[in-house]
Amino acid sequence: MVKALAVFLPLLGAFVNAWLPSKSPRASRFVSYVVLVAGLLASVVLSIRLDAWDLKNLSDSVILSTGVGAPPLSINLEITAGGILAAVAMYAATIFSLHRFARTTPKSQPLILALLTASLGLIYSTDIFNSFVFLEIGSISTIGLTAACKCGSRWEAAIKAALVSGLVTILYLLAVATLYRSTGMLTLEALGLLSGGSAILVSILLLTVIVTEIKAFPLAGWGLDFYQGASSVVAGLYSATWSLAVLLWAAKVLPLLPIGNPIIYAWIGAAGLVFSQLAGLRASSSGRIMGYSTSAYASLLLVAAGTTTGSFYTQTVIVLMVFSSLAKFSLFMLGNPEKSDKWSGFGTIIFLVPVLLLAGIPPLPVFWAKFAFLAHLASNFPVIFYTVLTGLMLEAVYLFRFWSQRSERTNETNPYKPSAVSAVLIILLAGIWITKLSWGALDFSGAIIASSALRNVFHSLFAIGTLLCLPGVFKRIGREKNYWFWLLISGAALTILPAAGNGITFYLLWEFSAFAAVIAVSKGVRASRGTFWFAVFASLSGYLLLAGILLSGGSFAIAGLPAVLLTLAALVKMGQFGTHLWNVKAYPAAPGTIPAFLSGTSSKASVLLLVAVALSSTGGSLPWGRVIAWIGALTALTGAVLAAMAPDYKKMLAHASVSQLGYILMGLGLASILGWTAAFYHTIHHLIFKMALFLGAAGVLYRTGTSEFNNLGGLVKKMPWTFAFTLISVISFASIPPLAGFGSKWLLYNGLVEQGWLPVMIVGMFASVVAFLYSFRLLHGVFLGQLSPRNAHAKEAPLPLLIPQAILAVAIMVLGFKPTLLLNFLVPAIDAIPGLSGLAPIIQGDMVLTTMGTWNAWMVGLMVMGIFGFAFVFYWISGHKPKYVGQLDIGFAGEIPPSADEIHYSNNFFRPYKRALAFLPNINAEKIFSGVNKTFGMLGDAVRALFTGDGRTYLAHSLLFLLLLFVFLNGGM
Amino acid sequence: MNAQSLFYWSLAVTALGLVLIGLWGVLTRKNILRIALAFTLADTGVNLILVWSGFLPGRSAPIVDSSVSSMVDPLPQALVLTSIVIGVAVAALFVVVGVLAARKSGSADVRRMKELKW
Amino acid sequence: MSNIISIVVTIAASLIWGLLLGGISRTVTARIHGRMGPRVTQNFIDVWKLFRKKTSIHHGGMFWMAPMFRITGAICVLLMVPIVIGNSVTWNMSFAGDVFLLIYIMFFGCLGMALGAGNSGHPYAVIAVSRGLAQMSSYELSFSIAVVAIAVGLHTFRIEGIVAAQQAGISSWNIFRFPFASAGALLAFLPMQMAYPFGIVLAPQEIPIGPPTEYSSRFLSLMFSGRALFGVAKLVLFVSLLFGGASSWLSLFVKTFLLYMYPVVVSSVFPRFRTEQSIRFLWFVPTTLALVDLVRVML
Amino acid sequence: MYCNQRPEKPGNKIEVFEKITNMARANSLWVTAYGTGCGAIELRPLHTSRFDMERFGIAMRPTPRQADVLIISGYLATKTLKRVIRVYEQIQDPKYIVALGSCTINGGMYFDSYNTLNVLDKYLPVDVYVMGCMPRPEAIIDGFSLLMRKIKDGRAQGWKHYKENLDYYRENQKKIITDWDLPDYNW
Amino acid sequence: MIRTIVGLIIVLALSVVVISSVPDYSLPSGLQGVGQDYTERGVNDTGSVNLVTAVVVAYRGLDTLGEVVVLFSASTAVVLVLTLVPMGANPTPSSSIVAFTSGVLPGSIVLFGIYIITHGHLSPGGGFPGGAVVASAFLLVMLGSNKIPGKSKLLASIESLAGVTFGLLGFWGMMMFGQFLNNMVLPAGSPGKLFSAGIIPLISLVIGAKVASELSGVFSSYRKAGGDE
């Protein structure tokens, strides 16, 4: 009885509703709610009875038999565990969308309920003609709803859906007739009895119908137009019910088609995925983007049908399709393509969850399915794996662009949309639930970095880095939103990261941290472009990481392709050589202390990854260490030059950060003990000084509201402490001896010379000299020179920002004067790694010795401080006291300077340098990436030229697809 | 191939011909109402094929009053019954939507319903 | 204790020698111009006068500290180089570091100076710093390549080691063993001494005297001393690196004097490069020269 | 923006090394390179090998901050006075003014001009006047040697006088400069 | 022109596809698969003499329910869409012949329709044809009348009631036999009698009512919308 209730209650509701609306829309809505809630309850009861919620045996089913007798005479509905999960989602989505329909088209209730009935029937149906009936109910309800809900292009959307539905009817009925005439049965199993010509005919007919209905690539045109044209509420309901049902039905039918080798599905799917996502890059309307995303998932379904079987197939398909549909539902409920809706920060986040889900970011449910699925592909179908991964990456790009463009309208009132919020909550809950189910796959033993000392270094780095960013989180300016939560999440994930014991754990924590950081960045003012670039590159590195992990079977082992992919992932995350674009875009956009976190702490995750790769591939040496060292060196150089030219404080720091990370790469690439010591030393040192610098920048930004050099300057009087800490950091990263930075350079150069990598070293040295240019620019542009009257009100940075800087500055001093404190710990730990070449530095008291050089930081420190102190004290106590004169009181040819702004030299600061560089071709990353973008755009344009917007063309596509299939199958069989 | 067989297969070819003409109309006509007509035509053809799939020359309707062996297959007829009604329903809706879409775009020409593109 | 005395003596002697060299160079330049020129002791007089001026101004803390930075950097470089071979007391602090430390500690003073100039709020000072840093980053390239080539060629980064390797007669001097690297380093020596044609930094005609344009009185005096000390430190360093070091005080004075005259003479006969010309020259000519030896060393 | 302290009155501290220092001062006269009037052209030959003022330790400094001597080279227009005051006050103590030509003494040929100052002493404390219209380089060198003698003897106290009588000088200056927009004190 | 040619090519290719996949051109020897089973067991299982009705209503009752829903959705959609759009208000007055005929004929048409519906399990016919016939009577009335008919409350009630009854009948079978739309909740009776064949007559009636009301609804909506503008 419960079975019947779960399936047919909406139908009864629809009939009852047909009688009610004209009298009282309230009553009809009430009836709908009652019916839907009852149906939902029945479904939940059934799902519990089927034990569906642990996702193990999703093919388990109960039979709801109808009519008289048993199949093939009568029709059975097979309520599978997977189906019932989908049904729960459908019920939920329908319930949540009702109120929006009630507001716009109150009389549409029967159609909604009919659509739900059709969806339920379709996923349960086991009879091929019965499926047809449900297909038709669905099509008609969809067309009706589309035409009835007020929206600009509804007629066109409806007409296209109707055209396709007409063609599908004809093809489907042809298939039914052929099937019946050949086998005398209409159950789905009968498909297996077909043979010869009729098998081919039925297969190509049904396959065409399926590909058309699920909107997979070559036949997706009508779906795109439909999603674009239909009103958002209809499209949302459609994607959560009907579209989902069709997908699941296709998943049921596809393996049964007598088509020989099902790998053809996978090829159609994989190729379609790439092509449609290429076209998707060019989509601008949000509805259309959802259409492309649907197409992507349809293609994924095809791939899954072609490459997997059994319960794994069911599980993959159910999780992928159900949650992507829910995500689309909530996006549609939020993102009305017609009205430019207004969002608050809250809305932005709510909006992000579905996007993340569609992009397959952990721990949202789709991630788990995608991960297992891709792992399967990687080990069995490598070519398809790459194709699919490419497609998914492209999808991520436009999804994030979509999100950033939507969230650009961040402001004002009432983002609260119960339907979407509820769906998002459901997704999140489901994420928690599925994560709990998959918890066993995680491993926190720290196996990927065998050395516990190094692990502890990273643990403490991440923890300390995060903690130091925390005090300042409430010092936000203007319209920056609260980001502390995401900072905390990201930091927590990072802190656990070194403990990851296998690939999936590592990937999970990595993505977790990355996307929590993406959200945090999005809290900034006008952060959308920065966030977009960050998200794109984060997901690029995520996908590379994923590919590497999957190809190496979950570990980080062995050289060759996986290791290269993993290395690339780390390089992208570091922003090395070309990919620095995201650093430069994201840091200036990010609010408050987030840049400090990203640059200081988060970037060390990629160091961790490199270390892990090196340790598990050859016990210490990275694949192509020389190449990596070169990448590091060249990045260090170009980063430094770009930093010197940067017009913005934070942008400069971003370039500088990329440049400094290059040294770590040089050290790691060396694969010698000295190199690794240098790399670790610099990792720690980079964290310290870069955080201090960015926290200082946060303070400056907080007090002045700007980070452009043109508007800054002269702040030393207003913010002496910030200046002092920044000065210490700058001296340190310019590697001027008494402070910490020199140590890393010294170790690195010794290592490089020891291995004979002199050219790398020369480039590195040059980069460190160029670093002076920007280090001075940084201090002068912000703190020295003339104080603009604009910033006359500025005060010392608030304590929450200042105290962490003080701690870091002290750390720099301590590390600078007594580097042996750290080296005594690092050197033995690194010495213990088996695969590293070269000799360890010898530490005698304060003296560090290598084969060629010596360094006694303590003595140098004493000397510098002694002499400086002597000169200082001597000048302080002897002679007359200098008189302080104001900033405009300068020797200006007898004139009075017109204004502070006019005589503050900061624009185009290193012009001579730029002129000297003029002989170089003017290449920059932005141009390259816009070139890439353009190329992809052209490809996308070429692909989407297929979708002419003419309904009949889409029909022709379907028929041509059918013919091609025929040719292919006849040729192939 | 005897006469009965010829009759049997010519029925099929006729039905298929209807379907093909319908499809051709769908692909080539511009007027939305003609497309609707073409669909109806193809639909009719498909229905005929359905009936044909259970048809045996020389047998009677499946109403039990004489011997079992001389009946045609009842199932396709049942299917066709359903299919016809569905066809009617779809056609009814198609025409309504088509007419309204034509009113919206000012012409019944499907080529002008290309607002949704890219 | 002897060490501390040596340090004090070294500083004092270098200061005197540096100022004297400055005076001599002014006289030499004047003679080249056909003038009498000032007294040889003119620089002492100037420094003393400046030190004894009755008032001075400052523009802030960094302005205040810049001359101290400057002189600290100079003295540190000085103390890091062994002065006289065979007399290890005069090696001062050179045990504490190697050529890398030297290369980097040379920036200490420059950065301090640049910051002081920045803090003075004078646009011309900052323009000069911009030019100076741009030029410095260029000559440091060839200089460090040369140093690395020499150090790697001699298998040590320690200055003592480098000096010790040159004790087998004149032919063992690095200027002969590494002629290209030495040429590169000597070309880099010109901009290091701000000699023409690389004198864009202190362009008195367009940007009054460059970075120290706001400095006066005691600060300027300290700065002058710092520059003199730094000059001597660089001379000693170059002598140690290229010219076999100094086996006695006398040979130190002779060698540094001769070396000092080289930029002075070059300077008085050349016009000035524009910044970008100078940068490009330094990038291409001395760097290429130094690279030749580096490649030789690598092979 | 500007210094707003009144200049401290120079105290009567007993200065050690004062005599030696005065010698040094006399032999290291750094001149602000600021030509205020037509006489500036006569300064240029001083650099040349014929006159070579560097042999006296006299050097040109491009910025008043580092200079000791301000040369008022000839007539001083009312407009220029503003700049001259500023340059002078930016020179650090002890500082000296050498005034060239008749114009600075009594106005010379511009005695009745509407825009030339007649008696420079009313506005700035002049240590040495050099006569002539214009004085030749030899005369200027003579003036400088007079100044050097005065300094050696500790008699070149114009800067002290200026500080002690600042109000008097300001009053006179403000009479000429009607649109006084200088900071009152700048050092 | 290109479109025409491409269309032709596609269509011809399609015909080749279909024809080439026919295995042989012989006559089927007899009924196969479920067709045979229906003819053998139909009367026993359902008590309906008309096997088509047996299949439609009993064996594949779910299809029929679905079909009813299709019709229902279509009519709801049409009504909904047409009421949302402002339409012409003046239907052309019908000619006197139509007006006269529409006053005379509907009664007998309805009667005929009801006959077809109620004898669905005995003779050719059933809910769909009968419902359509009844609807044609309404159409005639509508054509004859000059008024614009609203969607009457009666029609809506019939439509809704019939649908609900159909569903409830299904649930009844579910309750009694655990099989949705089971035919045997009512006694099968003796084949050939009017009151036989379980719930088949009842469902036929429901379907007839439903079809008649839905079609009438669609007609009336059309009529409303179809006037001159």
* Of A479, A708, A716, A493, residue with least CA distance to A592: A479
Q: From CA A499, how far away is CA A458, in angstroms rounded?
A: 10
Average pLDDT over residues A212-238: 85
Looking at beta carbons, which residues of chain C come within 8 Å of A894?
none
* Residue B76's CATH number: 1.10.287.3510
Average pLDDT over residues D11-38: 82
Q: How many helices (H) and strands (E) does chain C have?
A: 11, 1
On whether residue B117 sits in a domain, the answer given is no
Q: What is the pLDDT of residue A806?
A: 93
Looking at beta carbons, which residues of chain E come within 8 Å of B53?
none
Q: From CA B109, how far away is CA B111, in angstroms rounded?
A: 5
Write out the DSSP string of D133-169: SSPPHHHHHHHHHHHHHHHHTT---HHHHHHHTHHHH
CB-based burial of residue A267 (10 Å sphere; 0-12 exposed, 13-18 middle, 19+ buried)? middle
H-helix or E-strand spanning residue A313: helix A310-334
Question: Chain C window 206-245: which residues touch A at a Cβ cutoff of 8 Å?
Answer: 208, 213-214, 217-219, 222
Q: What is the pLDDT of residues A319-346, one digit of tens each?
A: 888 888 888 888 887 765 444 444 455 6
Write out the DSSP string of E8-35: HHHHHHHHHHHHHT----SPP-S--HHH
Q: How many helices (H) and strands (E) does chain A have?
A: 37, 6
H-helix or E-strand spanning residue A848: strand A847-849
Q: What is the mean pLDDT of chain C?
A: 87
Average pLDDT over residues C118-132: 86
* Of E60, D32, E196, D2, residue with least CA distance to A896: D2
Q: Is the pLDDT of residue A415 over 50?
A: no
Cα distance from A701 to chain D (closest Cα, Å)?
23
Peptide bond into A72 cis (omega under 30): yes
* % of chain A with per-residue pLDDT over 70: 95
Q: Is the pLDDT of residue A407 over 70?
A: no
Q: From CA C109, how far away is CA A731, in angstroms rounded?
A: 11
Domain count, chain B: 1
Q: Give the tokens for residue D76.
A: 């001083």
Nearest CA in chain B to E26: B5
pLDDT band at E228 (very low <50, low <70, confident <90, very high): very low
Q: What is the pLDDT of residue A973?
A: 46
Q: Is C6 on the interface with A (CB under 8 A)?
A: no
E78 vs B65: CB contact, 8 Å cut-off?
no
Beta-carbon contacts of residue A208 (< 8 Å; ≥ 6 apart):
A171, A219, A958, A959, A961, A962, A965
pLDDT band at A781 (very low <50, low <70, confident <90, very high): confident
- For residues A614 and A643, membership in a common domain is answered with no
**Pairs of residues, one from chain B and one from chain E, whose beta carbons lie less than 8 Å apart:** 132
User: How wide is the angle at C-alpha A352 spanned by C-alphas A348 and A354, nearest 5°?
Assistant: 135
Q: Which of A115, A129, A173, A963 to mutate to test the interface with B (most CBs of B within 10 A)?
A: A173
Looking at beta carbons, which residues of chain E come within 8 Å of A64?
180
Beta-carbon contacts of residue C16 (< 8 Å; ≥ 6 apart):
none
Q: What is the pLDDT of residues E136-168, one digit of tens each?
A: 888 888 777 766 655 567 777 777 788 888 878
A795 strand-pairing partners: none
Nearest CA in chain D to A900: D1
Q: What is the pLDDT of residue D149?
A: 92
Looking at beta carbons, which residues of chain B come within 8 Å of A944?
118
A539-553, A843-857, A950-964, E168-182: range with lowest mean pLDDT? E168-182
Taken in order of first residue, the domains within chain D and their CATH numbers are 28-176 (3.40.50.12280)
Residue identified by tokens 């005369």 is D139
Beta-carbon contacts of residue D135 (< 8 Å; ≥ 6 apart):
D39, D42, D100, D101, D143
Q: Quick one: CA dihedral A300, A306, A310, A312, positive or negative?
A: negative
Is residue D110 a contact partner of residue D81, using CB atoms and an 8 Å limit?
Answer: no
Average pLDDT over residues A781-805: 87
Nearest CA in chain E to B81: E128
Q: Which of C4, C59, C138 to mutate to test the interface with A (most CBs of A within 10 A)?
A: C59
Between the alpha carbon of residue C240 and those of residues A268, B12, C245, E177, the distances in Å are 73, 106, 4, 108
- Structural domain boundaries enclosing A546: 448-622
pLDDT band at A724 (very low <50, low <70, confident <90, very high): very high
CB-based burial of residue C140 (10 Å sphere; 0-12 exposed, 13-18 middle, 19+ buried)? buried
Q: Is A6 on the interface with E (CB under 8 A)?
A: no
Q: What is the pLDDT of residue D187?
A: 60
Q: What is the mean pLDDT of chain E?
A: 77
Q: Which of D5, D64, D82 is nearest residue A883 as measured by Cβ atoms?
A: D5
Looking at beta carbons, which residues of chain A come within 8 Å of C111?
731, 734, 736, 772, 775-776
Question: Chain A window 135-154: which residues touch B at a Cβ cutoff of 8 Å?
Answer: 136, 139-140, 143-144, 147, 153
Region for residue D17 given its phi and psi (left: phi exceeds 0; alpha: psi -120 to 50; beta: otherwise): left
Q: Which of B40, B110, B116 to mutate to test the interface with A (most CBs of A within 10 A)?
A: B116
Average pLDDT over residues A874-891: 83
Q: What is the pLDDT of residue E2?
A: 80
What's the length of chain C?
299
Question: Chain A window 261-300: which residues touch B at a Cβ cutoff of 8 Å?
Answer: 282-284, 288
Between the alpha carbon of residue A5 and those of residues A37, A44, E174, the distances in Å are 11, 11, 10
Q: Give the tokens for residue A212.
A: 């058309």
Number of Cβ within a 10 Å radius of residue D7: 18
Looking at beta carbons, which residues of chain A come within 8 Å of B46?
169-170, 173-174, 177
Q: What is the mean pLDDT of chain D?
A: 85
ipTM for the predicted complex comes to 0.80
pLDDT band at A408 (very low <50, low <70, confident <90, very high): low
On whether residue A763 sits in a domain, the answer given is yes
On whether residue B35 sits in a domain, the answer given is yes
Q: Is the pLDDT of residue C44 over 50?
A: yes
Is residue B83 a contact partner of residue B46, using CB atoms and an 8 Å limit?
Answer: yes
Q: Give the tokens for residue C65.
A: 């500290």
Residue boundaries of the structural domains of chain E: 57-83+95-229
Q: Which of A952, A960, A961, A962 to mutate to test the interface with B (most CBs of B within 10 A)?
A: A952
Average pLDDT over residues A101-114: 80
On whether residue B14 sits in a domain, the answer given is yes
Q: What is the pLDDT of residues D134-183, one digit of tens each?
A: 888 999 999 999 999 999 988 888 888 888 888 899 888 888 888 887 77
B60 strand-pairing partners: B71
- For residues A171 and A138, membership in a common domain is answered with yes
D3 vs A888: CB contact, 8 Å cut-off?
no
Average pLDDT over residues E193-213: 78
Q: Is C45 on the interface with D (CB under 8 A)?
A: yes
Average pLDDT over residues A565-588: 84
- For residues A577 and A650, membership in a common domain is answered with no
Q: What is the pLDDT of residue C254?
A: 92
Q: Is the pLDDT of residue B47 over 80?
A: yes
Amino acid D139 reads A
Instruction: Label the pairing between strands A76-80 and A842-844.
Output: unpaired
Number of Cβ within a 10 Å radius of residue D177: 16
* % of chain B with per-residue pLDDT over 90: 3
* Of C235, C209, C207, residue with least CA distance to C74: C235
Q: Is the pLDDT of residue A310 over 60?
A: yes
User: Residue D103 in 3-state DSSP?
Assistant: helix
Could you tell me where the beta strands, DSSP code E, fall in A445-527?
A: none
- For residues A401 and A275, membership in a common domain is answered with yes
Q: What is the pLDDT of residue E229?
A: 40
Domain count, chain A: 3
Is residue A721 a contact partner of residue A797, using CB atoms and an 8 Å limit?
Answer: yes
Q: Is A791 on the interface with E (CB under 8 A)?
A: no
* Of A684, A668, A579, residue with least CA distance to A625: A668
User: How wide is the angle at C-alpha E171 spanned by C-alphas A90 and A77, nearest 5°?
Assistant: 50
User: How wide is the angle at C-alpha A672 spanned by C-alphas A668 and A678, nearest 5°?
Assistant: 55
Average pLDDT over residues E125-141: 82
Is residue B100 a contact partner of residue A155, using CB atoms and an 8 Å limit?
Answer: yes
Q: Is the pLDDT of residue E128 over 80?
A: yes
Q: A touches C (3+ CB pairs < 8 Å)?
A: yes
pLDDT band at A463 (very low <50, low <70, confident <90, very high): very high
User: Residue E90 in 3-state DSSP?
Assistant: strand
- For residues A545 and A664, membership in a common domain is answered with no
- For residues A774 and A680, membership in a common domain is answered with yes
Q: Is A176 on the interface with B (CB under 8 A)?
A: yes
Alpha helix stretches (DSSP H) within A149-262: 154-183, 196-214, 221-229, 232-240, 242-253
Q: What is the pLDDT of residues A826-854, one digit of tens each?
A: 888 888 887 788 888 888 888 888 888 88
Q: From CA D71, how far away is CA D36, in angstroms rounded?
A: 8
Q: Is A141 on the interface with E (CB under 8 A)?
A: yes
Q: What is the pLDDT of residue D148?
A: 93
Q: What pTM was estimated for this model as a whole?
A: 0.84
* Of D88, D107, D85, residue with least CA distance to D96: D88
Q: Is C133 on the interface with A (CB under 8 A)?
A: yes
Q: What is the pLDDT of residue B109?
A: 78
* % of chain C with per-residue pLDDT over 90: 17
Dihedral, A460, A466, A469, A473 alpha carbons, nearest 10: -150
Cα distance from E170 to chain B (closest Cα, Å)?
18
Q: What is the mean pLDDT of chain A?
A: 84
A896 vs D1: CB contact, 8 Å cut-off?
no
Q: Is the pLDDT of residue A621 over 80?
A: no
Q: D touches C (3+ CB pairs < 8 Å)?
A: yes
List residues of D whose CB lies inside 8 A of any C CB.
3, 10, 17, 20-21, 24-25, 27-28, 30, 48-49, 52, 54-57, 61-63, 65-66, 68, 92-94, 187
Q: Which of C45, C56, C213 is nearest residue D28 as measured by Cβ atoms?
A: C45
Is residue A282 a contact partner of residue A944, using CB atoms and an 8 Å limit?
Answer: yes
Q: How far apart are the first and last CA of chain A?
A: 47
Is residue A573 a contact partner of residue A603, using CB atoms and an 8 Å limit?
Answer: yes
Q: What is the pLDDT of residues A656-682, one digit of tens each?
A: 998 999 999 888 888 888 888 999 999
Q: What is the pLDDT of residues A241-283, one digit of tens each?
A: 998 999 999 988 888 888 878 888 888 889 888 888 888 887 7
Q: Print burial letters for A251-262: b (CB count within 10 Å at least 16), e (below 16).
A: bbbbbbbbbeeb
- Structural domain boundaries enclosing B99: 3-112
